[in-house]
Chains A and B, each alone.
Chain A
Amino acid sequence: NAGVTQTPKFQVLKTGQSMTLQCAQDMNHEYMSWYRQDPGMGLRLIHYSVGAGITDQGEVPNGYNVSRSTTEDFPLRLLSAAPSQTSVYFCASSYSGFSGNTIYFGEGSWLTVV
């Protein structure tokens, strides 16, 4: 199993550009989520999904869109990039929910918005 795979690893965007961070998992996990990690802020939940066709907002959803058309994939779209979105983004998945279950993380995507 590859686990949770994120692409790209690094990306530089200009303000106003849009892009999609890809996330795929091969563990047949129902729950998937996106976090951003900023210095001194820990990880903050952007969006999450409890299954194909179902998504919901996390703590910091503004400026981001998600969709879950398949169990395996959970892309994160930046609609109009802003410097405040410069961060490290992590996709994560778990088998049956976040409560009391192990969360598996991807290796991260480093995004710089100039």
Chain B
Amino acid sequence: SQQGEEDPQALSIQEGENATMNCSYKTSINNLQWYRQNSGRGLVHLILIRSNEREKHSGRLRVTLDTSKKSSSLLITASRAADTASYFCATDSETSGSRLTFGEGTQLTVNP
């Protein structure tokens, strides 16, 4: 079963706007990661947030984690056409045997 579920499934915005994607999960986690996948390519790691952290930043990326709501959000500020990609959250937990479980992804389209 899928641990992480992204929302929305698809998002279309204009260049310069901010994009927010959400990830919900079902069981307690150790860590949550966000990955980007360009069309026809492999996944690329963006950011990792641990269960005892609430917010992390990396360049134009901001990730929040709310363990009480079992959810995380990825904010991309001042989006660019090059940000067009699918974004996945991945979690690991004691019940997953420390293996990553991926959500189905959010397809982000940034229009020039």
Interface residues of A (CB under 8 A from B): 4, 33, 35, 40-45, 48, 58, 90, 92, 97-100, 102-108
Contacts and interface: CB of A to CB of B under 8 A. Distances in A.
B42 A102 contact: no
Most chain B CB neighbours (cut-off 10 Å) among A48, A92, A102: A102
Contacts of A100: 30-31, 48, 50, 92
Contacts of B50: 100
B42 A99 contact: no
B48 A58 contact: no
B81 interface: no
A44 B42 CA distance: 14
Given A42-B2, A42-B88, 17 more contacts: A4-B42, A41-B104, A42-B104, A45-B99, A45-B101, A48-B99, A98-B92, A98-B99, A99-B99, A100-B48, A100-B50, A103-B45, A103-B100, A105-B35, A105-B42, A108-B40, A108-B41
B63 to A, nearest CB: 14
A108 B105 contact: no
Interface of B is mostly: strand
Contact of A107 (B2, B42, B99): B42
A90 B43 contact: yes
A90 B92 contact: no
Nearest to B104: A42
Interface in B1-60: 2, 4, 30-31, 33, 35, 40-45, 48, 50
A99 B30 CA distance: 7
A76 B32 CA distance: 27
A106 B92 contact: no
A42 B98 contact: no
14 contacts: A35-B102, A42-B2, A45-B100, A48-B99, A90-B43, A98-B92, A99-B98, A100-B31, A100-B50, A102-B48, A103-B90, A104-B45, A105-B43, A108-B40
